[in-house]
Amino acid sequence: MTAARMRLVDEMRFPGRPEILRDVRTYVARRLVMELPEAADDSRLLDDLRLLVAELSANAIKHTVSGRWRRGSFEVRMWLGANHIRMEVRDQGWWSGPRIRNDPDEIGGRGLRLVAAMATWGVSRRWFGRVVWFEIPIEKGCAA
């Protein structure tokens, strides 16, 4: 599903600091419940949404100017469609794309593997930055 078939619900800019991740998780869950009150009863949906957006946000902070520059920031956008939620994390990284790591001996680097296992995801480049996004389905009782 493309963003063109979805409507933008909200967007919020966050400072590129690791301690902000709790606020990002809270923001997306609250914003979804404000838009779709029935989502409050779907703990799996809310947990998945919080986990995946926190992973993309953490990657923006760790791997891009969004977290390396003292004035760095990233933006989180929420889109709703008839049966999907699309979350976008717009960061200040443009020189390389995110990649799924395959080395089983690495200590970290498994977040995108988790995102790929739980959602449809992708990357699009912008002039100064990129958008890493994922889409997850909404149960019929929660559809917009």
CATH number of 3-142: 3.30.565.10
Task: Give pLDDT tens digits for 85-100.
Answer: 999 999 987 665 555 5
Task: Give pLDDT tens digits for 8-21.
Answer: 999 999 999 999 99
Q: State the pTM of this model.
A: 0.85
φ and ψ of 109, to 5 deg: 85, 20
Average pLDDT over residues 104-130: 78
Question: How far, in Å, CA of 86 to CA of 42, rounded?
Answer: 17
Q: What is the pLDDT of residue 2?
A: 53
Q: What is the pLDDT of residue 5?
A: 85
Q: What is the pLDDT of residue 106?
A: 60
Maximum alpha-carbon separation in the chain: 43
Asked whether residue 45 carries a pLDDT value surpassing 70, the answer given is yes
Task: Give pLDDT tens digits for 99-112.
Answer: 555 655 565 556 78
How far apart, in Å, are the Cα atoms of 4 and each of 81, 86, 118?
9, 11, 22
The shares of helix, strand and coil residues in the chain, as percent rounded to the nearest 5, are 45, 30, 30
For residue 90, give both structure tokens.
Answer: 């717009």
